[in-house]
Amino acid sequence: MEWSNKALSFLPLCHAYERMLVYLYQYLGMSVYYAESLGTIAENIKEINPTMMSCVPRLLEKIYDKLHSAGRDLPFPKKNIYYWAFDLATKYQLKGMSKVMQYQLKVADKLIYSKWREAIGGNFDIVVSGGSAIQPHMASFFSAIGMPVFEGYGMSEGSPVIAVSQRGVNGRKFGTVGPPLPGVEIRIIERDEIVFRGHNVMMGYYKDPEMTAQVIDKDGWMHTGDTGKFTPEGQLVITGRLKSIFKTSFGKYVNPQTVESKFTESGFIENLIVLGENKKFAAALILPDFTYLKAWCKEHKIPYTTNEEIIKHPDVIKRFQKEIKHYNHFFGDYEQIKRYQFVTDEWSQASGFLSPTLKIKRNVIENFYADKIAKLFD
């Protein structure tokens, strides 16, 4: 495929990342199309057929969940084929796949993936995901169906990209944000913090030398506050945020973002926040994915009227207990979610619970649900 020539933009233009990308599109002579709203992105993609777009993992997760739910009402034989192809896509790898799997992917592409591409635009050459880490199985999934995901990492103070997946040898690996940009040095220091230096480091915070000195040391290293590690091939993996890591009353450190990322792999969970600073255990507030949950209830003939009613149904409670038990197995005892409560409020940018890049605002959520959180640790 020729170099991308149509870009779709929907992230806020006041954000340094999207502003930089729009300048890049213009520099490359690409046509830039702007989404009407977050709610119309799917329709806009189909209308425009873009070859490139930047996005955040939450958007990809919504498309993923929508495609997963679409197979529920199919007749039994078609349903089996549909979910066989779906599961196969999550196992796609950039290299090292057996010939059998390569053949299976070709069959799945002809039967299923080609129809998905047609439904979501079908013309992508590159999808750049940033803002937070995308789950590796989702990066595999979208790359398999024809939406090649390239992850990137950065911050406004880094102009704003520090590392990004690239074409070429060791330039891209699912679960990583790729190697550092040319001219950018990255180190992992105490507590696994990511620091970097190079021509992209900001001059400083406006008229605030004290705050600038807190993040840029005397040797020019910018301290990100994020934690990470390198793969043997030199790709950077983001593991969490220093400020988010908390210590239980038993002295065990918990990285909530790692736990949250794993649990949101569940189709039943739209979002959650893990808590437990100075407590005996980790707990969570869970926002169910009500679209998915209602489809599940319909399939199992479970009646409901409101979201508040649906989360109180014994069968729903039992199903979530099974889900929590499954995902807890991926963590040590001190990291596992011991208690949880459901919430039904919308977590969105408009409600103030999510940032412009759709990351949860921990302080806002903790303040809003202070009473519920207190009950979790009663």
pLDDT confidence of residue 4: 60
Q: How many helices (H) and strands (E) in the chain?
A: 14, 15
Give the N- to C-terminal CA distance of the chain in Å, as an integer. 59
What own/partner pairs with CB < 8 Å and gap ≥ 24 does 199-207 have?
Answer: 200/158, 200/159, 200/161, 200/162, 201/157, 201/158, 201/159, 202/156, 202/157, 202/158, 202/159
pLDDT confidence of residue 133: 82
What tokens were used for 167?
Answer: 């074409």
pLDDT confidence of residue 232: 97
Check residue 117 and give left, alpha or beta (phi > 0: left; psi -120 to 50: alpha): alpha
* Predicted TM-score (pTM) of this structure: 0.82
- Identity of residue 165: S
pLDDT confidence of residue 2: 47
Q: Which of 333, 216, 219 is nearest to 282 (CA)?
A: 333
What are residue 128's DSSP bridge partners?
54, 150
Burial class (CB in 10 A: 0-12, 13-18, 19+), 65: middle
pLDDT (tens, 9 = 90+) of the chain, 378 residues, equals 445 699 999 888 988 999 999 999 999 999 999 999 878 888 899 899 999 999 988 889 888 988 998 998 899 999 999 999 999 999 999 999 999 999 999 999 999 999 999 888 778 999 999 888 888 999 999 999 999 999 999 999 999 999 999 999 999 999 999 999 999 999 999 999 999 999 999 999 999 999 999 999 999 999 999 999 999 999 999 988 999 999 999 999 999 999 998 999 898 999 999 999 999 999 999 999 999 999 999 999 999 999 999 999 999 999 999 999 999 999 999 999 999 999 999 999 889 999 877 889 999 999 999 999 999 998
pLDDT confidence of residue 107: 98
Task: Please name each of the domains of the chain with its CATH number.
Answer: 6-147 (3.40.50), 151-241 (2.30.38.10), 246-376 (3.30.300.30)
Q: List all residues 6 or more positions away from 285 whose beta carbon is below 8 Å from its beta carbon.
A: 272, 273, 275, 340, 341, 342, 343, 365, 369, 372, 373, 376
pLDDT confidence of residue 72: 87
The residue assigned the tokens 């790898």 is 93
Report DSSP letters for 76-98, one per residue: HHHHHHHHHHHHHHTT--SS---
Task: Report how far residue 301's alpha carbon sits from residue 274's, in angstroms, rounded to the nearest whole number.
Answer: 32
